[in-house]
């Protein structure tokens, strides 16, 4: 068992959006014994927001945090929801502004010529 994590190194892949894969190795620093290398894969990983039950204690290491987490890389911005009435109103407002602009341009040109 490990008493502390001072001499532990985690070698793993760069952050990516693939939630269903993870490859890495947990190694002890300054020791070349390959028996102390622990392979890390998707079965040994908890994603952000996961909860662990029926366990008295665990060892855990945060590998990626913030925007580098797999969950954050897979999140997308939600589409703005607008009703049919709002879309129609927006279209009519744009048409009304364009018509008013055209009338103002016509009036300005007619006034300058007259």
Question: CA 87 → CA 1, 22, 84, distances in Å?
Answer: 63, 44, 5
Q: What is the pLDDT of residue 75?
A: 75
Q: What is the pLDDT of residue 73?
A: 73
Question: What's 111's DSSP letter?
Answer: H
Q: Are residues 16 and 52 in the same domain?
A: yes
Q: What is the pLDDT of residue 11?
A: 84
Looking at the structure of the chain, the number of domains it has is 2
pTM: 0.48
Neighbours of 27 (CB within 10 A): 18
* Burial (0-12, 13-18, 19+ Cβ within 10 Å), 14: exposed
Domain residue limits at 102: 78-114
Q: What is the pLDDT of residue 111?
A: 93
**Torsion angle (degrees, nearest 10) of CA 102, 104, 105, 107:** 120
Give dist(CA 57, CA 70) in Å, integer. 24
Q: Are residues 88 and 110 in the same domain?
A: yes
How high is the mean pLDDT in each 10-residue block of the chain (114 residues)?
68 80 79 68 79 83 76 75 93 98 96 90
Q: What is the pLDDT of residue 60?
A: 80
Q: Are residues 68 and 86 in the same domain?
A: no
Q: What is the pLDDT of residue 35?
A: 58
Q: Are residues 36 and 16 in the same domain?
A: yes
Q: Which of 26, 18, 64, 66 is nearest to 44 (CA)?
A: 26
Residue 112 host element (H or E): helix 84-113
């Amino acid at each position: 068992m490990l008493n502390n994590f001072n001499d532990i190194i985690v070698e793993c892949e760069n952050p990516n959006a693939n939630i269903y894969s993870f490859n890495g190795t947990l190694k002890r620093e300054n020791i070349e014994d390959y028996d102390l290398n622990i392979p890390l894969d998707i079965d040994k990983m908890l994603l952000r927001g996961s909860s662990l039950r029926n366990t008295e204690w665990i060892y855990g290491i945060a590998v990626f945090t913030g925007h580098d987490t797999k969950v954050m890389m897979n999140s997308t911005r939600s589409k703005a929801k607008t009703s049919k009435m709002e879309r129609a109103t927006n279209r009519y407002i744009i048409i009304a502004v364009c018509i008013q602009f055209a009338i103002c341009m016509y009036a300005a040109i007619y006034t300058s010529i007259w």
